[in-house]
């Protein structure tokens, strides 16, 4: 798969599962044209400038500002994780050379379907880019139980539980200790409407992309940075748990 598209998919997955104080911008983002936004996107990639990269990406609506900040951190970190440092270094070498214009033109051809204009400004629709990378992957049917065999299968079960609004699937994806910690609030029972509440907090396009990405098997959950969360293995089974537990 094209490295830009793989990086985009990793970015979306990171944003989804997180729902940095980024470094000071070294790249000035230009939204004036398709060429300008691709140029800005590539320069932000080359210099690993998270703030500038985020500014090139089509804004996404979430419920709170804190959710947006967490999503920003995770999306940016996972994008750079999916784009090899060696390739970023190669980009930096040619930024101020005549070759750079040709690179921008080539990438523009590839990214053109994912460039959108909103309120007079051009953006990269990273969410659509990642989604189309797995457009042929179908949403699996709702599983009867959580698959604890690996972190990837665990997260697929979790997101399918959210998608199909199955409280038990979502709840049982969390570790026994995590569920126990919330016992006082839940009375030891599965919170009714829990899955639906999680679903309502996630933009639909991100949820679908996340499901298709994990269902494809091309990206493993272990490759994704999930702020505040971790995977734990208990009695041979994988679970989701807060990073501090």
How far apart are the C-alpha atoms of 155 and 112, rounded to whole Å? Answer: 32
147 CA to centre of own chain = 21
DSSP result, 187-228 = TTSPPTTHHHHHHHTS-HHHHHHHHHHHHHTSS-GGGS--TT
Which residues of the chain are modeled with pLDDT < 70?
1-25, 61-64, 66-68, 70-71, 74, 130-133, 223-228, 244-245
Rg (CA), the chain: 19
Q: What 8-state DSSP symbol labels residue 144?
A: S
Cβ atoms 99, 93 nearer than 8 A? no
Cβ atoms 17, 44 nearer than 8 A? no
DSSP result, 54-76 = HHHBPP---S-HHHHHHHHHHHH
What pLDDT does 19 receive? 44
What pLDDT does 22 receive? 35
- Count CA within 13 A, CB hemisphere, residue 176: 6
What pLDDT does 23 receive? 36
Cβ atoms 238, 231 nearer than 8 A? yes
What pLDDT does 226 receive? 63
What pLDDT does 156 receive? 92
pTM: 0.58
């Amino acid at each position: 798969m094209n490295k830009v598209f793989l990086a985009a998919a990793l970015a979306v997955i990171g944003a989804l599962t997180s729902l940095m104080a980024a470094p000071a911008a070294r790249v000035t983002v230009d939204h004036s044209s398709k060429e300008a936004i691709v140029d800005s996107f590539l320069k932000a990639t080359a210099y690993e400038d998270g703030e500038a990269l985020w500014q090139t990406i089509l804004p996404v609506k979430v419920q709170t500002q804190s959710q947006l900040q967490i999503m920003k951190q995770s999306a940016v970190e996972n994008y750079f994780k999916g784009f090899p440092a060696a390739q970023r270094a190669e980009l930096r070498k040619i930024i101020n050379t005549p070759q750079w214009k040709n690179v921008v033109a080539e990438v523009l051809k590839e990214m053109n379907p994912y460039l959108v204009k909103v309120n007079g400004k051009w953006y990269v629709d990273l969410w659509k880019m990642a989604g189309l990378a797995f457009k042929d992957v179908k949403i699996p049917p709702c599983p009867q139980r959580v698959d604890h065999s690996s972190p990837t299968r665990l997260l697929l079960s979790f997101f399918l539980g959210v998608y199909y609004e199955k409280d038990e699937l979502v709840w049982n994806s969390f570790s026994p200790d995590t569920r126990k910690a919330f016992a006082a609030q839940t009375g030891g029972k599965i919170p009714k409407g829990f899955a639906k509440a999680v679903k309502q907090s996630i933009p639909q396009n991100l949820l679908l992309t996340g499901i298709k990405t994990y269902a494809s098997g091309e990206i493993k959950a272990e490759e994704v940075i999930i702020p505040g969360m971790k995977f734990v293995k208990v009695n041979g089974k994988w679970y989701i748990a807060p990073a501090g537990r």
